[in-house]
Structure 1
């Protein structure tokens, strides 16, 4: 594969439409002409193959029933001779045998039914071409990485031969080469997260969660010693878990889940399955797609889409839910209120056994306390209390905010009886329940560290 031609990048993608009915081709022409595609039309398989031999075709949309050669056979032949061309089957009368043939022999990207929905057809074509472009770019980067790696190895051998005469200069050059090689590997790794970045572009900066979720899942895998294959699947699931939200409106994307209306709530409950559906045609991410499908299941069986319960939920899905909810609680995507990291962990602990796997929650909290600098909950000297459990002399371990975000008390504040009374009165007036993080005296912290821990208060939203 040579260097990528600039003309290849900027040209309009070639789309070949194959159908025996002129009315169908005319409708497709009217629908697709305003879009940046170069359109080609064929009424049978022979004409389609002639066009494939002469033109640069990126995507083929073929009817199932054609004269002389059916659509699945045509797509199988295109797959054999032009494997880089994306293939879509268009059928008005779904035939299971034809569909199986199209999937198994033609390895189609997707099939659509006649009559089609214009928006769905346009979205499918756009997604197919975007996926094709990203795959070609990945292959280009892989070849480039191999080429540069070979060049670096040759250069290193040459430098070693000259090391006696030019030790100081060689060391400086070798250090620069090592840095360039590490940057190259890092750039290649980030290419795998392309879809994640595309999803994030739909959101304002304070609602962009994917990067934080990916990093948190990776930290958990590293600290807990998760095997490499599971790490890979979890990393892809973390990157792509919300790709099914791409069809949402901008306002729905940033609305907290508990404020969605009935129709929006139904769309929300469908997004894990939709994310899986978008990814299932890509064989390398099928295991990750399964984790994505079940990451909104609840430990007690009340989740969605399949109401799985307990250990029937894949372990990776249980972990992904903890990471997603922990980050989204802090971004105001679950509840209207933005929680800090400790409050989000208290929420997870409160709903362990209902929403979350109780055996994973405490390990997750410990990972957060190691990985995140602003988490105090993992410190045995810090306890979470309700306002009515506070006493004079206690010291706040972190800032206390009202539900509307207003700062009430700063971390390090020493509580007094009048201050506690005012706090209780303000809480009552607001109709809220505050979780207050306080620093315990040394003797109580020592008791906690030796296993004599008092029952944890999980009051809060």
Structure 2
């Protein structure tokens, strides 16, 4: 055994030739030495394994028949210990069993017959080494890709941690800003209510409406489960809905809308839009300002300022319309005659579908009956009747006032037919039409 070719500066492929016959080895050496290979020779499996242990061998050509250990067994051992080395079997007889073992256990690249064709052997050698080079390059690139993927994953993991940390910081900042913004809105809501109290100071105590409207809106929101943001906007709208009236004269402030002169009526119809314009520069109250602008729209489209109709009117504006009219009807700011709470609710029910959202009216009446002690309309035993529907034995549930405000009968009065006839006569003489709130006795059927 010995090295017959000195390696150049550039590493040449190492080829190990294994055969027990010197003539075969010499012939193979002569054939291959003219090419750029580092050649190693071995006469048996033991020498071959020694060469493999100390040299870098890329390809092994082994005879099938060797002393002690056959070539197929050697190649199987090399496949196990040096899997990257390409293996070729050289056999002088067609021993199919030996060839099968070399293929199955040694996973040889090819087998060649003795005597071999020189050109075929050289071509096979080049192809084997080219294939080996391609496979090694593939493995190198695959390993490089895997390494780069690991590095990329590590970089991504680091970036994700940094992004997560930065996101957490930004989220914390955003949460702090949201909290500050909510506190600012709360401050605006509190300030709006305080300002509404100052606005009310221009009015006599019996015509100050804002506090009652705010409380009524909040009660409705609580019963209907309206979210906190919408509730806050509604409360601010209730507090500031009449801020556009500040430029009015004192006399106009207390005059019922139904009695305003033509030029005053035009100013009256402009106040919702004027209220909105005064508030639009304050960002936290802009949503409330939009509700204020449309709170005098009518369900049938006859309202102002934009003649919106039906569900085109913001829901908050529809609710605010109910609360404002309910309170102002009792304060004499809409009609000349002041109504009590039940009469105001009867008026609202009468104009459901014209002035008011019919889907909101009954819920509004129920809220009023729960939260306002002077409302009897929510009591199922209380009925609202005309004077001609009254019967003897019925009990007044509320005071009965004439249209001019004069008290006619006290709550709790038991009606008799002569008293009913007097009421009908007085109503005819006054030219009015009374709504009488009565409790019906269980045993008394209503007269047709």
TM class, shorter-length: 0.5 to 0.7
For residue 314 of structure 2, what is the aligned residue in structure 1? 314
Relative to the length of structure 1, the TM-score reads 0.55
**CA deviation profile, 1:341-387 (whole Å, cap 9, x unmatched):** 00000000000000000010000000000000010000000000000
Residues 290-329 of structure 1 mapped to structure 2, 5 A cutoff = 290-329=290-329
For residue 400 of structure 2, what is the aligned residue in structure 1? 400
For residue 231 of structure 1, what is the aligned residue in structure 2? 231
**CA deviation profile, 1:238-270 (whole Å, cap 9, x unmatched):** 000000000000000000000001000000000
Distance 1:438 1:214, change over 3 A: same
Larger radius of gyration between Structure 1 and Structure 2: 2
Distance 1:444 1:277, change over 3 A: farther
User: Are the aligned partners of 2:295 and 2:318 in contact in 1 as well (CA < 8 Å)?
Assistant: yes
For the pair 1:285 / 2:285, whether they are aligned, the reply is yes
User: Are the aligned partners of 2:219 and 2:367 in contact in 1 as well (CA < 8 Å)?
Assistant: yes
| TM-aligned CA deviation for residue 194 of structure 1 | 2.5
SS of 1:347 mapped into structure 2: helix
Structure 1 residue ranges (4+ consecutive) displaced by more than 3 angstroms after TM superposition? 186-192, 442-445
**CA deviation profile, 1:266-323 (whole Å, cap 9, x unmatched):** 0000000000000000000000000000000000000000000000000000000000
User: Are the aligned partners of 1:395 and 1:439 in contact in 2 as well (CA < 8 Å)?
Assistant: yes
SS of 1:193 mapped into structure 2: helix
SS of 1:292 mapped into structure 2: helix
Relative to the length of structure 2, the TM-score reads 0.57
**CA deviation profile, 1:382-428 (whole Å, cap 9, x unmatched):** 00000011111111111101111111011111111110010000001
For the pair 1:368 / 2:350, whether they are aligned, the reply is no
User: Are the aligned partners of 1:294 and 1:305 in contact in 2 as well (CA < 8 Å)?
Assistant: yes
User: Are the aligned partners of 1:272 and 1:294 in contact in 2 as well (CA < 8 Å)?
Assistant: yes
5+ residue gaps, structure 1, are: 1-141, 146-185, 446-453
SS of 1:303 mapped into structure 2: coil
For residue 148 of structure 2, what is the aligned residue in structure 1? none
Distance 1:290 1:383, change over 3 A: same
CA distance in 1, matches of 2:280, 2:248: 20
Distance 1:188 1:312, change over 3 A: closer
Cα root mean square deviation, aligned: 2.3
Distance 1:231 1:444, change over 3 A: farther
Distance 1:278 1:192, change over 3 A: closer
CA distance in 1, matches of 2:360, 2:429: 37
CA distance in 2, matches of 1:393, 1:329: 31
Distance 1:188 1:320, change over 3 A: closer
CA distance in 1, matches of 2:424, 2:222: 42
CA distance in 1, matches of 2:284, 2:405: 43
| TM-aligned CA deviation for residue 443 of structure 1 | 6.7
CA distance in 2, matches of 1:321, 1:250: 23
CA distance in 2, matches of 1:247, 1:201: 14
**CA deviation profile, 1:91-150 (whole Å, cap 9, x unmatched):** xxxxxxxxxxxxxxxxxxxxxxxxxxxxxxxxxxxxxxxxxxxxxxxxxxx9xx9xxxxx
5+ residue gaps, structure 2, are: 1-179
CA distance in 2, matches of 1:443, 1:388: 19
For residue 435 of structure 2, what is the aligned residue in structure 1? 435
CA distance in 1, matches of 2:438, 2:187: 43
SS of 2:437 mapped into structure 1: strand
